[in-house]
Structure 1
Amino acid sequence: MSDGGDYGHGRDPGSQGGAGRLTTRTRLPGSEGGGRPPSRPGRSLVTVVGVVVLLIAAIAFANRGDDGGDPRADEGRNGGAQSQPTAPSGKKPVDSAKTPATGFPHTRQGAESAAANFAVALVSADIIKPGKRDELIQQIFAPGKVAEMRTKMDKAYSPKFLDNLGLDENGEAKNGMTYVSRTSPVGTKTRAYSGSKAKLDVWCTGVFGTAGDKSTNPVTSDWFTLQLDLRWEDGDWKVQSFAQKEGPAPVNGDNRASGADEIADAVDEYGGFTYAR
């Protein structure tokens, strides 16, 4: 992913107890698929890199102009950036029947959980579908940002943009093709937290592209970080602004790249997670 520098398309660390072994919970598989990421094809393949570049260009464009301020401006405040595994808090879970989940606790941990779930939704296959995008925007963004983000994303995910991805105007792949855009949070970091506001980073990996024998955008993996500014509004955490940057990315492994049919089958057979915690 390229670092556009603009706010772009984009948990409370388990610090409550201090000492003790910390664990991470993951809840409730959903209906969207998700297999093991294939090895990234050679970087010289323009078509492989192209789909990721297109996606990032769109999400960067979608939020361009937001006055979210420098996402690093408050770094160091309230103890500076903090990163710890998320531990069970004993509090009632959020409403994970929705995608993304709602009802996050008004705590640092709740803000990080919200950021991780928002990252999954903001770089999902649903965000490019007009029929589902409006619902996601309404749920994710602060009320004062909904209309603005709806206009920007409708412009970013234009029919021409979708056609470049091999999709129709409804964001659907052609017959015999399976479009994949799935993000998995690897970790979160709180850069600043004041109770009503939170600045967070979500380190992510994901698989993106179109699986099919005639695909010109084969499914490839990527590593990136989403930077989200959240605000506590209407009894829940909402996105005020967000940005993206490339990496951190590990050295590519030597996994065998799976064929298009295997990837497409994995998307259909493996349910994505509706709630990351």
Structure 2
Amino acid sequence: MTFLLSIVILGGGIWLSSRANNTDCLKFLQWPLIVIGASIMVVSLAGFAGACYRNTFLMWLYLFVMFFIIAALIGFIIFAYAVTDKGSGRPVMNKAYLEYYLPDYSGWLRDRVVDEGYWAKISSCIRDSKTCSKMGRSFNGVPETYDMFSMRKLSPIESGCCKPPTDCGYVYVNETLWNPGGGLVGSDLDCSRWSNDQQMLCYQCDSCKAGVLGGLKKSWRKVSVINIVVLILLVIFYVIGCAAFRNNKKIDNDEPYGEARMTKAQPSWIHL
């Protein structure tokens, strides 16, 4: 059962690493799943062999390593919830999408994202994923209007990186092209960072960094739910493994006693 579970976990990790999604520019999600899945697979084979061949050492090894895997999984779940505890999108009046602000986030994950060297890689990844260029929509050949755009539920990346903050007062031309309204822009520093250059947009904005954090929070929470289910199953299988280990020891302890009793019960003439 643990072997079959490891296939599901490993497959989930590989799927996360291979799917083309803008939230995967930070490879935080799939590697814990891949490592945990591969570890469980190897260990479960040892436990399977130990159970089939009544090898006490392999069963002991299986239980010993599984204990640390379960402990590591518990630690990862706690860590994932801790680093995504703060921050969420703010609603905007008459808009279906949310706005994301960097001061709303804090902690280890925020520090890692805003690091200049690391952000250069993240922003380059978002640019290469062409997330913003894929935002364009048309209806019967007619481009999307501002009212239509306002009713869209944008992803955190689309809201934070592909358009200027709503407070800046830019005038909508299309999804990624915005002009200053009457030559005036808001006081937010992101307002001056916005560029209609499709290679720039708002990739250097704090709102973009906040959008990345918002996307990561959603993804980490989803993965944490999966990990909790996996944890429950692993604990159940661990208890079953403990029962198999005790059964192996019981059989090993009973056999010498049984053989000695049978030998003692044999009549003396059978050796003649």
> Scaled by the length of structure 1, what TM-score is found?
0.24
The answer to which structure has the higher strand fraction is 1
The answer to which structure has the higher helix fraction is 2
Greater CA radius of gyration, 1 or 2?
A: 2
Task: State the structure with bigger RCO (CA 8 A, min sep 6), 1 or 2.
Answer: 1
> Scaled by the length of structure 2, what TM-score is found?
0.24
